[in-house]
């Protein structure tokens, strides 16, 4: 199985690892400001398929990405770890925990990740939507697509200047690789993980920006443990990195042994 690109931080530290999964359009480097303030733990950051140094890797489906993550953990000698995931990375982290049932997983920290859609009709509609977006991504100028992407309701809290900054940050991406990932890991392909997550025997924390009303509502419906972060929307770790790191540090310290 393919090993994904990754990088270790503070590998000399003892104790469980913290493994970080970015969202769509992200990369492993974006976590470094958080890692430096999230506690005294060894960390592994991973480039997901189609992103960063894993740009040539195809996801295929959720289970294949899960196997790629497992192979990456194994290649780094990690068998005792916490998993942190943002948005798409959060959905992959939840799948990893709920469907893979890994023995070494200490717990999950999910930032604005959807546990799944409840009905087949909802999943089918989402798949059609995401496949349509992926086709646009293959055909349109990347800057135009990104500008429209950041005008979605979930990013409504962004100012025009912030929107332009997000577009500029992502112009280096391979549009076709991102399009493949968008289709392969559509929420329409994801099983509804909510019930399985409630059966986990490891801790689960959701982190959402206070202005991300959509995902705060999703978390409250499922009655997962929620930590809201002030002055932040969907991408909490970028909008308020200090408060995000503090939430992680507190949670990990509460559950350390």
Cβ-Cβ contacts under 8 Å for 151 (sequence gap 6 or more): 163
Using the CB atoms, write b or e for 117-144: b if 16+ within 10 Å. Answer: beeeeebeebbeebeebbeebeeeebee
Q: CA 6, 53, 186, 101: dihedral to nearest 10 degrees?
A: -20
100-112: pLDDT as tens digits: 879 999 999 999 9
Rounded mean pLDDT of the chain?
96
- Domain residue spans in the chain? 6-118+191-255, 121-180
Q: What are 194's two structure tokens?
A: 């909510």
Cβ-Cβ contacts under 8 Å for 122 (sequence gap 6 or more): none
pLDDT of residue 224: 96
Spans in the chain with pLDDT lower than 70: 257
- Residue 89: phi, psi to the nearest 5? -60, -35
Residue with tokens 């329409």: 188
219-233: pLDDT as tens digits: 999 999 999 999 999
Residue 217 is given by DSSP the state H
Contact predicate 10/41, CB 8 Å:
yes
Helix extents (H) in 20-87: 32-35, 62-75
pLDDT of residue 11: 94
Q: What is the distance, to the nearest Å, from the Cα of residue 65 to the centroid of all Cα atoms in its chain?
A: 13
Contact predicate 64/48, CB 8 Å:
no
Secondary-structure class of domain 6-118+191-255 per CATH:
alpha beta
Instruction: Give, for 175, the enclosing helix (H) or strand (E).
Output: helix 175-184
pLDDT of residue 257: 59
């Amino acid at each position: 199985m393919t090993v994904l690109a990754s990088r270790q931080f503070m590998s000399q530290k003892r104790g469980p690892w913290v493994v970080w999964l970015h969202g769509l359009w992200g990369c492993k480097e974006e976590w470094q400001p958080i890692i430096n303030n999230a506690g005294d733990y060894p960390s592994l950051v991973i480039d997901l398929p189609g992103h960063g140094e894993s740009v040539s890797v195809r996801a295929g489906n959720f289970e294949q990405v899960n196997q790629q993550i497992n192979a990456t953990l194994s290649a780094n000698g990690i068998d005792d770890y916490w998993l942190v995931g943002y948005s798409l990375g959060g959905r992959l982290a939840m799948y990893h925990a709920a469907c893979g049932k890994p023995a070494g997983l200490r717990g999950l920290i999910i930032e604005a990740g959807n546990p799944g859609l409840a009905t087949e009709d909802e999943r089918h509609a989402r798949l059609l939507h995401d496949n349509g977006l992926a086709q646009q991504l293959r055909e349109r100028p990347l800057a135009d697509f990104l500008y429209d992407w950041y005008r979605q309701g979930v990013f409504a809290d962004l100012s025009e200047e912030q929107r332009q900054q997000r577009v500029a940050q992502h112009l280096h991406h391979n549009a076709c690789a991102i399009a493949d990932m968008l289709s392969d890991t559509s929420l329409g392909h994801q099983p509804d993980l909510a019930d399985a997550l409630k059966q986990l025997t490891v801790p689960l924390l959701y982190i959402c920006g206070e202005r991300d009303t959509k995902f705060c509502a999703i978390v409250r419906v499922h009655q997962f443990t929620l930590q809201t972060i002030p002055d932040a929307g969907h991408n909490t770790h970028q909008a308020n990195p200090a408060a995000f790191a503090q939430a992680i540090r507190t949670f990990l310290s509460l559950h350390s042994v």
